[in-house]
Structure 1
Amino acid sequence: MLLIDDAPGAPPADDFRSLLQSLQAGKPQKSSHGATYSDKCALMTWALHETLLDMERDDMAKSCTISLARDARRADLLIKYGICTENFTARAGVLGMSLGGGDRGGDIVRQTRKLIRRFCTKFANKPRWNCGPEPQFMEGLFNHMTSKIEIVMSDSAANEILAGDVGAGKRDVNIEDEGAQELHPNLKMIGRDKAHAFRKVLQRPYCADEFLQALMTDHVLGSHSMVQIISNSHEFSLWLEDEISRQEQTAGFGAKCKNLRSAKHRFESHSTPLGRMLLYSPAFLATCQKIAENRKGNKEGRCALAYLESLTPESLCQFSMLGDAADEGLLLVRAMDKENVDMAEIATVVHSFQSRIGALFQQSKVVECGYTHYVLELLRSGSLCIFLPNAVKKFKGVDSGMLERCITRMRCWARLAVEVLRAEFPHHSLFNATQVFSLKTEREQVCEITQTTNVHFHRLAQVFDVNAAALRDQLLRHRPVAEQMMREGGLKSRDAWLRAMRRLGKSGSPSDHLSPVMWRYIAWQAIGIELATFGLVVVEETNYMESNLTVLNGGDSISFDIID
């Protein structure tokens, strides 16, 4: 509760409400108020900030598990947190942000400790002319937080890996500072960004085959490839747009595109130019031919001519299969790239990807759908024709031997993609074990005692010190309630379980083995789900907001009372 004194000069409650709404909308205060921005506005913002921090500290003190998501970029660091209490109150927020603190592993641990201390300090970073209480460090809260941090999420950069090991005491803690102590001694897991990990499914498998690697380089990735030459030239892009507008038989393609939209800095974005090049093959080849004719003495003209001369039905067929593979990989990456992805359903997404590429390439279904089917029909129609300086090249289809060679290469690609998934998402991973909480899995599959389900329950029981058989029994007993919650509210597994556990907790249903595991399952995902829903406070050039940005998901629960 924010108490507002009615002493002279004290702002009315309506002013605080208005300011809070403005902060929740993410509006920069100095640019909004302009010349009227004053020390009073700064003090009001700080008061709201401290009120929200008090609410967060209260929940943090009751937490039974804490998860951190850490993003280090150059010398800057942003940390988000997620918590869950024994009565299944889940909360998320921004622990803090540090600027210019260094980018080495020891620097990251040092800045993490600094941000936790700032979070645990009341009345810190006061604005000028403030005569309130001096900063008060809450040592009890600090010790509680460091003892309850059980997972740290980060990417796989070398400095982040080192920081995770140093903070957990797996490496020399003196890397942080001489005489430093473990920052989170009870850490159970160091998580890695799954979206970054699954991008390797797109990047690695094709590199193992010389033919596939050369094909990707010559068509898309190389600086001499026509995709890059056309994408990096405004004039050539206009030529392509004109050719696309004249291409016929494009029903079902949607709105005709105007460019290839190639961005080399993100590998997964190459599926877009790859797909557009295949769908608009006649227009793309006509553009290459026009470049070869009009830029004979330039590098672009020579590259275009060399590309057209080297193009074969086999390379087009193989390239179309790579396009289908890239689309499947992109679906996997996009599913993992959402902040609110439910980790209980990651295994289902991975299994679905494996099933799809197995059907496409191991069972040769790729010739019946997607880019491959379209390109094969285009080749069989005989409509693809290229006019070279001394010859005319006309494509007349693909023979069975050529098609089998292309599919064989993609079968190798599929096997390598599965191995990449096994390396990035191992069966023994604690994340993998949480698939027992997925409500999208048939209940019979969870009820059936198999080696796989036993491994998952025993893994969770071992890490969280509960009985595996009792955990499985209580989960199956509580699952129908969670399924009902999911059906009624259209919820994800995590949110459905959260509501179910709250309801069952009030009824006194036994959950002494399920609850400790469920606390972690909920808290470890609270970060993404909450921050995807609520915005951050944005205040320009204010020292007191540099270190502790606050997620205003608690703003609606603030009451404004005026003391008479």
Structure 2
Amino acid sequence: MDAEKRAQCTWERRKDVWSQALVAGDTGQTWLLPQTVDGRFSLACWCCRAAGVDSTWSEGVVTNNFGNLKRHHESQGHINAMIQLGLLEPNEDTILKGAPSEEAFMKVLANRLECRSLQKGIPGVGQRLKVTDMQVCMSASLCMLDKAFLQDAVSISVFQDVRKHVLLVRFQACSQDLTVRCGVLAHADLKKDGATTAGTMETLWTALECFYSDLDGNVEHDLLQEFCAKVQFFCSDAAADELLCGRMLKHSGIFPQMRYQVWDKAHACGRLLKRPWQADERLASIVDRFALGGDSIAQKVQSSPHVARIFQDACRRSETNGIRAGRVKSLSFAKHRFCSISKPLGRSLLYIEAVIETCVWLTLHRAGEPAGLAAASWLREVSEEELLLAALCADGSDEVVAFLRHFDQENWDAADCHYWVTSFLSKLHYLFNEEAAWEVPGYTRHILSVLENNSFGVVIDGDSKSFGGYPVPGDVKRRCMRHLQAWVVTVASILATEFPHHELLSSFMIFDLRVSTRTDLDADQGATRDTALRRLARACGVSAQGLQDEVEDHFPVAKHLAVTQSLSNWESWRRAVRKTQARGSTAERHPAGNLLPVLCRYGAMQCSTSGIEQLFSQVQLHLGRDRGHMTDDHAFAEVKLIADGKSIPDQKSFLQGARACWLAWYGHQRASPAEQRLDAGVKRKPKQDLRFCKTSGDSEATFLAGRREASGAGDRVSLEEAVEAALEGAGDVWDDSMIQELEFQECKRYRNLANAFLVDAVTEDDVPADLVEVAQYFANADEKGAQQRQNKRRKCLEILEPTPPRLGSASIWLERDAWDELMPLTLRRSRVEQVQDASLFVVTRPDKPPAVVRWTAMLHGADITDLTFLRSNGQRGVAFNYDAAVSIQRHLLVSDEFWEDEPQLAATLELAILSPKSRWRKLGSWEAFAERYEKVAGPDIAAHLRKPKQVLAITTAAVQAALGMESVLTAEEFEAFCVRLTCTKRSLCGT
């Protein structure tokens, strides 16, 4: 019996059962349609046929297997057909049927966030390829949620950073209802042109187009333009290329409304550590000797495991440690992490006895070696004064690090910035200007106690040395403190540069809820807040008086929420405004029309790339070095999940979007995967390290917390007060390098203010009288620089991607007549016999052509190629193009001596001067040369207007030596001066 007969017999026996099981939606009727066409029995689906679905079931299928019927009944195509015909109500189960379940997507997300390997897949979900595709779907779903939020956003900030040729961009946006959202916009390789600012901008734009693409890959231009128009803040580090990129993004029109370019404040705090020490040679030598230098003990302990063990043993035996030393392993030397310099500096002082003991060991066991010599030098130069200076530097550096930690996170509160700056300066004023560092807990008091209560003795190269055992003299302490007071002045100058008063960021201080009421402010503080309020009102285009009234109206509500619920400044203001605007009656009594736009900027504005840098490290941890082969889509998916997968506001929409993306891109998933062993991919518990045990004393963290708390006991002072006191105390300790640093910071502040003025980001109160003219000069210089960069880039691209000579329109000269037979037939008629008639020369060595050929190409402008280029019709070989030297206006004397010495070259020059396109003019004698030279470069002409190279003479070396004029050249000098060539065919990498 054939298949059609079996299928028909089975249908007759089972049609009642099948019809009840396979119902078309809610109709109660089966979708099965038995039919006989041309004597052939089959079963068709009338739903798919009516919906116009192009499938075998619309035509008819020969089957007697109920499993085949059931699979079609559950297929997504059949379900869509019934939805289209109105036979089935669309819901999540029907629309997303066939995609991996929500539980499966959640397992993949958890696996990615836990940094588990994908090599063996995920049990119950699938193998590696399916899991990576599911990650792409989840990333696309997150992007859709981001795009929906950004469409409703009022203000947007963009942060970017580059590491190892990879561009990473994040955003933070605030909507009208004061909801804040941040996420990853781009993670892209910069390709070959990424090292330039223009290349970075092109990569950014390409990445934005990818972000704003639909499921079919089409760019959503309207949404992209709407996003770009809302970007108001751009943040990067202070690298020159990043700052230039920010300015170009504004001027290029990519972000037309971007008015505020700010740099990362954590990097700015890092400059507070580095630059002030470099300005003072004495402090720089101390820091270098104790922490940063290649010969420092911190470096020796860090680089040698054996010396580290000697140091550890000495720490355990020491009786003068400032903290417990049971688990200490090193001095935490890491020169590339400059912001952590306080650790090796501070530990060297807390374990000073162990450091000295380690140096003694090195002088004995590494005698004559670099480590031993460095240790001997350290012991020879160390003194009570050196130790005190190092301790004071350690206290100062720890204060800078504590200040830096406020900004070393992505979500720090902009309203706190002014408070942190003032607190930091007040602590420095208290420690060094008021000289409290001698008394409060810290590195300085510890080293004073060690020196007063202990004495140390060593022998260095046969010489004895001892220090400590008696109170440190007052004049020594005074000399040390003067250096730190000068350091405070330098720090304050840099602080004023990195945190300028005119910056919009500092104006958000009006939302700081630490002040009780406005009446608690003194006159200066009140004036500062009024200026900040006017600056914000101007930036947001609202009424200054209206903003002030609404801020004062909502201040008690926000203050109450902050105190009773321990909320941050931002969260308190957000809830306060939402509370007053929740109902129409309260909204009328407490208007917020001026306050809301300012709060939207407050919520969107961030000045930190720390989140990006931390994300770079997280990506490296998750992906490792072995997965660098991933495509751009898979890499972006990984980064998006790592960064934004931890906190998803609408998880239900996220999972539905991921399932929809799966169906759109990959269709129906296959049957469930094979089971794996239960412990596959499970990390083993790390073994407990029992090598070290606790000893008595406080930990380093407890020590630092105590000293930082004690340093805040002083009164709060302004920057001007701290600088005035420090200048008075520093006395005559200033040197040229310190003065130069202060002058540099003053110039930098003025330039930054001019740039802010150009983008209308400052108020009239911030602008000095002479700033407008200077700012215009900077604007012209920036415009000129941008044009120069564009020309340079275009020229580089022309060199890297040259246009080879066109053989079809060239007049070809051959170095050898025998090559005529090797020429393509179509080019033989283009051959010329005379050198001066050719525009393309074919020679044996294009880099070393005959002198007449080279000079002819140099003067007239022509191409020089090899025979391979000619025979391959320009597909292979080498070609050089020479610019025409005679196209630049000059006067030239070809001397009689040169005619006698080089008649061929002289004749070539003569023909070039007489050519129709030449702008050269011939001088007939030395007298004519002298007369012309006097007119363009003589002593009566101003130095900046002299043009000696417009008048040239070519002669022999003897005549040139006798005259000694820069316009009189030999043949070699003349050729070097005139030649301008590019390689138009390299035969390298397809060029």
Range into which the TM-score falls when normalised by the shorter chain: 0.7 to 0.9
Q: Which secondary structure does the structure 2 equivalent of 1:84 belong to?
A: strand
Name the counterpart of 2:463. 390
The alpha-carbon distance between structure 1 residues 55 and 405, as it changes in their structure 2 partners (threshold 3 A), is same
1:554 matched to 2:649? The reply is yes
- Tell me if structure 2 keeps the 8 A contact 1:485–1:491: yes
- Tell me if structure 1 keeps the 8 A contact 2:266–2:404: yes
Q: 2:198 aligns with which of 106, 129, 134?
A: 106
1:375 matched to 2:447? The reply is yes
Shift of 1:375: 1.2
Q: Which secondary structure does the structure 1 equivalent of 2:122 belong to?
A: helix
* Structure 1 residues 174-193: Cα deviation after superposition (integer angstroms, max 9, x where no partner): xxxxxxxx100100211111
1:516 matched to 2:597? The reply is yes
The alpha-carbon distance between structure 1 residues 255 and 464, as it changes in their structure 2 partners (threshold 3 A), is farther
Q: Which secondary structure does the structure 1 equivalent of 2:233 belong to?
A: strand
Name the counterpart of 1:544. 633
The alpha-carbon distance between structure 1 residues 270 and 41, as it changes in their structure 2 partners (threshold 3 A), is closer
1:505 matched to 2:581? The reply is yes
* Structure 1 residues 496-553: Cα deviation after superposition (integer angstroms, max 9, x where no partner): 22232333331323111111110011012499899999x9997974653444635232
Q: Which secondary structure does the structure 2 equivalent of 1:54 belong to?
A: helix
Q: Distance in 1 between matches of 2:539 and 2:96?
A: 55
The alpha-carbon distance between structure 1 residues 9 and 39, as it changes in their structure 2 partners (threshold 3 A), is farther
Q: 1:122 aligns with which of 214, 224, 244?
A: 214
Q: Distance in 1 between matches of 2:152 and 2:491?
A: 43
Name the counterpart of 2:699. none
- Which has the bigger relative contact order, CA under 8 A and spacing at least 6? 1
Q: Distance in 2 between matches of 1:4 and 1:528?
A: 42
- Tell me if structure 1 keeps the 8 A contact 2:318–2:354: yes
Name the counterpart of 1:143. 225
TM-score for the superposition, normalised by structure 2: 0.51
Matched ranges for 1:6-405 at <5 A: 9-23=98-112, 25=114, 27=116, 29=118, 31-33=120-122, 36-37=126-127, 41=131, 44-101=134-191, 102-123=194-215, 134-169=216-251, 173=252, 182-250=253-321, 252-253=323-324, 255=326, 257-369=328-440, 370-388=442-460, 389-395=462-468, 396-405=470-479
> Mean alpha-carbon deviation: is it higher for 26-35 or for 544-553?
26-35
Shift of 1:340: 2.0
Name the counterpart of 2:18. none
Letter aligned with residue 408 of structure 1: R
Letter aligned with residue 390 of structure 1: D
Shift of 1:88: 1.7
Letter aligned with residue 489 of structure 2: R
Aligned-residue RMSD, C-alpha: 3.0
Shift of 1:12: 4.1
Letter aligned with residue 81 of structure 1: F
Answer with 1 or 2: which has the greater Rg.
2
Matched ranges for 1:393-542 at <5 A: 393-395=466-468, 396-444=470-518, 450-507=526-583, 508=587, 509-525=590-606, 541=630
Q: Which secondary structure does the structure 1 equivalent of 2:559 belong to?
A: helix
Shift of 1:40: 5.3
> Mean alpha-carbon deviation: is it higher for 108-117 or for 42-51?
42-51
Q: Distance in 2 between matches of 1:2 and 1:232?
A: 64
- Tell me if structure 1 keeps the 8 A contact 2:161–2:609: no
* Structure 1 residues 43-74: Cα deviation after superposition (integer angstroms, max 9, x where no partner): 54444333332222111111111111111224
Shift of 1:348: 0.9
Name the counterpart of 1:178. none
Q: How many residues align?
A: 541
* Structure 1 residues 163-220: Cα deviation after superposition (integer angstroms, max 9, x where no partner): 1111100xxx4xxxxxxxx100100211111000011111111222222122222222
TM-score for the superposition, normalised by structure 1: 0.88
Letter aligned with residue 394 of structure 1: F
The alpha-carbon distance between structure 1 residues 496 and 284, as it changes in their structure 2 partners (threshold 3 A), is same
Q: Distance in 2 between matches of 1:307 and 1:299?
A: 12
Q: Distance in 1 between matches of 2:467 and 2:99?
A: 83
Q: Distance in 2 between matches of 1:455 and 1:321?
A: 37
Shift of 1:447: 7.0
* Structure 1 residues 338-360: Cα deviation after superposition (integer angstroms, max 9, x where no partner): 22211110111111110011011
Name the counterpart of 1:177. none
The alpha-carbon distance between structure 1 residues 189 and 559, as it changes in their structure 2 partners (threshold 3 A), is closer
Q: Which secondary structure does the structure 1 equivalent of 2:466 belong to?
A: strand
Identity rate of aligned residues, in percent? 26
Q: Distance in 2 between matches of 1:560 and 1:224?
A: 57
> Mean alpha-carbon deviation: is it higher for 10-19 or for 421-430?
10-19
The alpha-carbon distance between structure 1 residues 136 and 27, as it changes in their structure 2 partners (threshold 3 A), is farther
The alpha-carbon distance between structure 1 residues 523 and 405, as it changes in their structure 2 partners (threshold 3 A), is same
Q: Distance in 2 between matches of 1:143 and 1:527?
A: 25
Q: Distance in 1 between matches of 2:487 and 2:650?
A: 51
The alpha-carbon distance between structure 1 residues 362 and 8, as it changes in their structure 2 partners (threshold 3 A), is closer
- Tell me if structure 1 keeps the 8 A contact 2:391–2:444: yes
The alpha-carbon distance between structure 1 residues 250 and 2, as it changes in their structure 2 partners (threshold 3 A), is farther
5+ long unaligned stretches in structure 2: 1-89, 661-991
- Tell me if structure 2 keeps the 8 A contact 1:92–1:527: no
The alpha-carbon distance between structure 1 residues 247 and 12, as it changes in their structure 2 partners (threshold 3 A), is closer
The alpha-carbon distance between structure 1 residues 538 and 524, as it changes in their structure 2 partners (threshold 3 A), is farther
Q: Which secondary structure does the structure 1 equivalent of 2:121 belong to?
A: helix
The alpha-carbon distance between structure 1 residues 438 and 3, as it changes in their structure 2 partners (threshold 3 A), is same
Letter aligned with residue 513 of structure 1: N
Letter aligned with residue 163 of structure 1: C
